[in-house]
Amino acid sequence: MIEIIPAIDIIDGKCVRLSQGDYNSKKVYNEDPLEVAKEFEDYGIRRLHLVDLDGALSHHIVNYKVLEKIASRTSLVIDFGGGIKSDEDLKIAFECGAQMVTGGSIAVKEPQLFTSWIERYGSEKIILGADVKDRKIAINGWTEQSDSDIITFLGNYIDKGVSKVVCTDIACDGMLEGTSIQLYKEILQHYPSLYLIASGGVSGMVDIEALQDAGVPAVVFGKALYEGKISLRDLQIFL
């Protein structure tokens, strides 16, 4: 059964969503992310993907108080990403209640530091964030594109001990037009034992079902929930 992981993206302490990573497309869905997290929990959701969008732009963790509030007032297992650029950022995230941390830009720009985190904390706690645009890895809140091809990039880090990856196709993210299922199938053909977390483009239950049929282990999504394309009741069959 595919693992269901709702996302809460944070700007200015509020629950928002973007389209294709464009900060100018910001739409606020709730002033209080804790309220959203509690509703997820009430429906039997166990996991949460919490993204500090301010942190992604600022190059350091910003919305750690939101993380701390959700972690202390719910039983959700939280993976936290956005702005994790140093040992201090990582320490803050874990101290504020994150059980896992997702690192993307840092894995491209400072591979030695990111690898040291895998060695120190283990592959269960350190998730690789692979944000893709035209098959190349994008960084810094998706504002920059690297020269790293997705398949090569993943293979390099799998060799270094990574076992969990959140892979987001930026072209699909927030568009409600379907996921990059062919890309995910290709990744799993190369790395069948990878715990691949698909992210971006979920438009309805049909997309989640298609990902499950393709053998994708987990899916992160948000906008489809916030826009009413999927209800929390719909998700009960996966929980």
Q: Which residues are the active-site residues?
A: 9, 131
- Distance between CA 186 and CA 198 in Å, rounded? 12
Q: Using H for helix, E for strand and C for coil, what is the string for the chain?
A: CCEEEEEEEEECCEEEEEECCEEEEEEEEECCHHHHHHHHHHCCCCEEEEEEHHHHHHCCCCCHHHHHHHHHHCCCEEEEECCCCCHHHHHHHHHCCCCEEEECHHHHHCHHHHHHHHHHHCCCCEEEEEEEECCEEEECCCCEEEEEEHHHHHHHHHHCCCCEEEEEECCCCCCCCCCCHHHHHHHHHHCCCCEEEEECCCCCHHHHHHHHHCCCCEEEECHHHHCCCCCCCHHHHHC
Q: Is 198 left (phi over 0), alpha (psi -120 to 50) or beta?
A: beta
- Distance between CA 230 and CA 226 in Å, rounded? 8
